[in-house]
Amino acid sequence: MTDLTRFHAHEMSRLLRAGEVSSRALTEAHLAVAERQNRALNAWLAIYRAGSLTQADAADARIAEARLAGPAALAALHPLCGIPVGLKDLVSVKGGQATAGSKILQGYVAPFDSTVTARLREAGAVILGKTNMDEFAMGSSTEHSAYGPTANPWDLTRVPGGSSGGSAAVVAAYHAPVSIGTDTGGSIRQPASLCGIVGLKPTYGRVSRFGIVAFASSLDQIGPIARDARDVALLLHAVSGRDERDATSAPMPVPAGLLSLPTGDDEAASYLQGRRLALPSEYFVEGMEPGAAARVREAVAAMEAAGAKVEEVSLPHTHYGLATYYIIAPAECSSNLARYDGVKYGFADRSSGEFIADYLRTRGVGFGPEVKRRIMLGTYALSAGYYDAYYLKAQKVRTLIKADFDAVWAAGFDAICAPTSPTVAFPLGAKMEDPVAMYLSDACTLPVNMAGLPGMSIPAGLSEGLPVGLQIVGAPWSELSMLRLARAYEGITARATWRDLEPAELHLTDDPTTPSPVERRERTAGAPATGSGGQA
């Protein structure tokens, strides 16, 4: 019997329409593996067995009705009808939890659907559950979750990346074909890279953020994670578009072409003919792992051999990205997280009955260490006497960083190709004692957020047995072109041996004696610190 979890969503969609499989069977298959393997991965914070089966039955009814009504009705169904999807646990699903990986939101029940949730329901997708994440999306390893770290299916002693580490791990582990993440400085692309899958951060404004827990509002974007470019395109299509309830969502049309990326590998590869790709030299320095750099250069060389024109370019302000980001993002977070005051919702300590004391304790106990660190940084950067030196300065440097990218588009390039992460997945615990080392994990992704551009990570092979991601950055609103490029790369590497590999330690997650990530952390807690790990 075929394992249904190994299909891509676009294949499941075809089988559903042909009546060869039901959404209930697909959903049962994914629930079974998610429930069995989650102990060893800790990638799901909630699995909605009953709710997802109800949604699956509804999808089956919709498909059956459409089949009776004829081919036009069947074609009018969204390809995600009946397809299981995982949601990062900061997406509101009415009646469900939305912890954002934080203790301060433990027990919170969302009173409404996010727009992304509503659009997925409209498409007929099946919401399997909520995935683990760094608290309030602040982190690059998912270790900053109040609910324990997530393990990487390629090596259970390593991180899946973050902050959307749960969403990446469930897709890599075949618990769901697609999932939703959010990306403020790399939180979709970096975990996609570290887990060997595809993740796309859309142009700022492409996807409505109504009903999503906010981190840094000038940077946050929601986006799709999947195991190939076509599935990413389907999910992007389902959730994109202007929403009256999010004033920052842009009135840009959603490209219909997202539903028809080429199926044939040769047809897909032909897109590379004459494409101009920019390779920024600044992205290959500062302690980048040689194996990761080699895979990225090989991927670009393969696209060149298939007809693309590759030129080295300079993005001269890249070096300033980290400092700029770590002023702007904490500043915005310190403002956004002021809402957690223990009055309207969330954890509240009212033990003293004295206003300020309770307020301090509610936030001091409710937030974890990384969130407190960022609130402190942001509050300091915005405080009297420091605003000009830090926040205003950073916003000016942001202008320069954006101008670097603008010059590339003005020169006529179709896309920028770069590494997604300077390293492969690093060991659990390796960077927890050194915040700056952790921040450097996102050095290659965060300039893209500051410029508001779309960026994606696609698998480009392995280094020492662990996945390496190729980052593709496009001009504003060019997601369809980027996905055609990603699909072309899939076409030219369709027969590469690494394409057939499943995550190396996935089989261990079926073994009940395999320790959970929390147990691993407790076992090593007494051990001496191992330094900062693969310094980026």
Residue 212 CB, shortest distance to other proteins, in Å, is: 17
Residue 328 CB, shortest distance to other proteins, in Å, is: 9
Residue 380 CB, shortest distance to other proteins, in Å, is: 5
**What residues contact residue 196 under an 8 Å CB cut-off, 6+ apart?**
154, 172, 459, 462, 467, 469, 503
H or E segment and range at residue 44: strand 44-47
Question: Based on CB atoms, which residue is closest to other proteins, 361 or 520?
Answer: 361
Burial degree of 446 (CB within 10 A; 0-12, 13-18, 19+):
buried
Question: Based on CB atoms, which residue is closest to other proteins, 19 or 111?
Answer: 111
| Cα dihedral 434, 450, 226, 421 sign | negative
212 forms beta bridges with 91
**What is the distance of C-alpha 7 from the center of its chain?**
20
Q: Scan for tokens 């997601």, then name that residue.
A: 479
Contact 89, 132 (CB under 8 A): yes
3-state secondary structure of 240: strand
Residue in 141, 163, 208, 334 annotated catalytic: 163
How far apart (Å, rounded) are the C-alpha atoms in residues 182 and 201?
Answer: 7
Residue 388 CB, shortest distance to other proteins, in Å, is: 10
Residue in 88, 103, 201, 431 annotated catalytic: 88
Contact 418, 445 (CB under 8 A): no
Question: Based on CB atoms, which residue is closest to other proteins, 245 or 499?
Answer: 245
Residue 396 CB, shortest distance to other proteins, in Å, is: 4
**What residues contact residue 508 under an 8 Å CB cut-off, 6+ apart?**
40, 156, 514
Question: Based on CB atoms, which residue is closest to other proteins, 11 or 358?
Answer: 358
Contact 465, 498 (CB under 8 A): no
Question: Based on CB atoms, which residue is closest to other proteins, 229 or 451?
Answer: 451
Residue 220 CB, shortest distance to other proteins, in Å, is: 12
Q: Where are the beta strands (DSSP E) in 396-498?
A: 415-419, 455-463, 466-473
Picking from 216, 215, 232, 204, the residue whose alpha carbon sits closest to that of residue 10 is 232
3-state secondary structure of 493: coil
Q: Scan for tokens 């539903």, then name that residue.
A: 259
H or E segment and range at residue 403: helix 393-410
Residue in 13, 187, 334, 481 annotated catalytic: 187
Active site residue 393: no
- Residue 11's identity, in one-letter code, is E
Picking from 159, 134, 154, the residue whose alpha carbon sits closest to that of residue 427 is 159
Active site residue 351: no
What are the structure tokens assigned to 384, written together?
């009297």
H or E segment and range at residue 169: helix 165-172
H or E segment and range at residue 39: helix 23-41
Q: Where are the beta strands (DSSP E) in 188-306?
A: 198-201, 221-226, 276-280
Question: Based on CB atoms, which residue is closest to other proteins, 251 or 290?
Answer: 251
3-state secondary structure of 226: strand
Question: Based on CB atoms, which residue is closest to other proteins, 36 or 396?
Answer: 396
Residue 405 CB, shortest distance to other proteins, in Å, is: 10
How far apart (Å, rounded) are the C-alpha atoms in residues 458 and 481?
Answer: 14
Question: Based on CB atoms, which residue is closest to other proteins, 50 or 356?
Answer: 356
Q: What are phi and psi of 130, to 5 degrees?
A: -115, 140
Active site residue 88: yes
Residue 369, Cβ neighbours under 10 Å: how many?
A: 11
Residue 232 CB, shortest distance to other proteins, in Å, is: 21
Question: Based on CB atoms, which residue is closest to other proteins, 436 or 529?
Answer: 436
How far is residue 170 from each of residues 46, 56, 182, 316, 506, measured CA to CA in Å? 12, 19, 15, 37, 11
Residue 87 CB, shortest distance to other proteins, in Å, is: 19
Catalytic residue positions?
Answer: 88, 163, 187
